[in-house]
């Protein structure tokens, strides 16, 4: 997506976090900037072409973007949580990490069959978390209408994998080589 160069300047890069060789793209500096945060939400909302019933925001930085975007789109907010964080009955989806696996959950009654769901997170890298969220929403009967991210690390292939699975994946900015 174009027109987000000014926002890219608001993203802080933290070298060697969480381990040596990683360039961590930190959106907290973008969120601190009132106009930058508002513009981020505006651009993400403008990239959505049709109606959305629910915004599925991924734990945890996705909550900040997802909540604001859901309000802007007139949609509800579906929280996609890490395992053990939801108080009610839930369904879960496992996904692979570099070393091991993790699990995401949603409440069993959070997504009605046929609901139009937009998946949202701050960043997409390998796409494991986003793909697990897509599978979870589909298992619940939801119709994934797209996925939106503030940042894409295209060299890691996550957005391409989502598109190969039929998901319209859009990011506001990308950082190559990470």
Residue 31 belongs to some domain of the structure = no
Gap between the Cα atoms of 83 and 103, Å rounded:
5
DSSP letter (8 states) at residue 89: -
Residue 121 belongs to some domain of the structure = yes
- Choosing from 25, 81, 98, 138, the catalytic residue is 98
Structural domains counted in the chain: 1
71 counts as catalytic:
no
Residue 71 belongs to some domain of the structure = yes
Residue 128 belongs to some domain of the structure = yes
Residue 17 belongs to some domain of the structure = no
State pLDDT tens for residues 11-38: 999 999 988 999 999 999 999 999 999 9
- Choosing from 61, 135, 138, 163, the catalytic residue is 61
Beta strand pairing status for 100-107 and 90-97? antiparallel
Burial 44-78 (b: 16+ CB within 10 A, else e): bbeebeeebbbbbbbbebbbbbbbbbbebbebbbb
User: Most distant CA pair in the chain: distance in Å?
Assistant: 44
Q: Which residue has the tokens 């964080």?
A: 85
Distances (CA, A) of 37 to 33, 84, 104, 174: 6, 30, 26, 17
Domain carrying residue 146: 50-174
Q: How confident is the model at residue 5 (pLDDT cuts 50, 70, 90)?
A: confident
Residue 96 belongs to some domain of the structure = yes
Residue 164 belongs to some domain of the structure = yes
Residue 105 belongs to some domain of the structure = yes
Residue 122 has a pLDDT of 97
Gap between the Cα atoms of 80 and 103, Å rounded:
10
98 counts as catalytic:
yes
State pLDDT tens for residues 55-104: 999 999 999 999 999 999 999 999 999 999 999 999 999 998 767 789 99
């Amino acid at each position: 997506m174009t027109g987000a160069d000014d926002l890219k300047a608001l993203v802080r890069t933290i070298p060697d976090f969480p381990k040596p060789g990683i360039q961590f793209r930190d959106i907290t500096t973008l969120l601190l900037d009132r106009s930058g945060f508002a513009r981020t939400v505006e651009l993400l909302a403008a990239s959505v072409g049709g109606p959305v019933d629910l915004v599925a925001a991924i734990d945890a930085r996705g909550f900040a973007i997802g909540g604001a975007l859901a309000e802007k789109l007139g949609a509800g907010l579906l929280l996609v949580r890490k395992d053990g964080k939801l108080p009610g009955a839930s369904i879960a989806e496992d996904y692979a990490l570099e070393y091991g696996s993790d699990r995401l959950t949603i409440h069993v009654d959070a997504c009605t069959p046929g609901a139009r769901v937009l998946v949202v997170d701050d960043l997409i890298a390998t796409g494991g978390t986003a793909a697990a969220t897509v599978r979870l929403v589909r298992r619940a009967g939801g119709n994934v209408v797209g996925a939106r991210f503030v940042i894409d690390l295209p060299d890691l292939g996550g957005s391409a994998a989502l598109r190969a699975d039929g998901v319209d994946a859009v990011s506001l900015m990308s950082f190559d080589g990470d």
